[in-house]
Amino acid sequence: MADEEKLAPAQPSPPPQPYFEVDCRSSGKTRRFAVGTDAEFAVLLINRKLNAGSPLALHIEAVKEGEEPIAFGPNSVLVDYGYGWKLQTFTEADLTFGTRSGEDVRPIPIRKPGSGGRLRLERKVSKPVISILYIVKVVFAFILIFVLGAIFTLALENLPTLITFVKSLT
């Protein structure tokens, strides 16, 4: 009896879905793509269907709670990583580039002629604003450098005197 249970075929697992679902964070809609779809093609289709003013999708990521997201490059094929993983777009709004000295850096997706319709990212750098506070900080830094230089110069000039004084005490 126990041997018959061991020899009995196990229940077959359900067949894998013939498509992948990608959650578009800009529109809130779920898009379906066939198995074997390139990530770049999926991003282009998602961006074409976005409303004007919505942030563009830059790439697709597989995300799971408590795990590091897995990004799909432009030539990557979309893959299902199993239970708990879901595919979603990574948008311009998700970028958190630091703004240092008033500099705002954001990649801008554009199509260049002769690129075969491929989406390219270029960085657009805004001009830094020079304020009075910035100038005051620079002047203060120069003054501090000269003061520290004077202190070290005086210390080195008086070092031999200090050494002979310390030797005479012992």
Q: pLDDT tens digits for 58-104?
A: 788 888 888 888 888 777 787 777 788 888 888 777 765 444 444 44
> What is the predicted pLDDT for the residue at 31?
82
The greatest distance separating any two alpha carbons of the chain, rounded to the nearest whole angstrom, comes to 102
Burial class (CB in 10 A: 0-12, 13-18, 19+), 79: middle
8 Å CB contact between 37 and 78: yes
Interval 48-58 mean pLDDT = 76
- Which structure tokens are listed for 88? 């979603």
Rounded-to-integer distance, Cα 48 and Cα 31, Å: 12
Band (pLDDT 50/70/90 cuts) for residue 164 is: very high
Rounded-to-integer distance, Cα 162 and Cα 119, Å: 69
- Which structure tokens are listed for 74? 């432009």
133 three-class SS: helix
> What is the predicted pLDDT for the residue at 129?
78
Query: pLDDT tens-digit profile of 92-149?
Result: 777 654 444 444 445 555 555 555 555 555 555 666 778 899 999 999 999 999 999 9
- Please indicate whether residue 143 or residue 21 has the higher confidence score (pLDDT): 143
Of 96, 103, 78, 105, the residue nearest 18 (C-alpha): 78
Rounded-to-integer distance, Cα 122 and Cα 127, Å: 16
Please tell me whether the overall predicted TM-score, pTM, comes out greater than 0.85 for this model.
Answer: no
- Please indicate whether residue 127 or residue 18 has the higher confidence score (pLDDT): 18
Band (pLDDT 50/70/90 cuts) for residue 51 is: confident
Interval 21-35 mean pLDDT = 81
Interval 4-32 mean pLDDT = 69
Give, as one character, the DSSP assignment of residue 49: T
168 three-class SS: helix
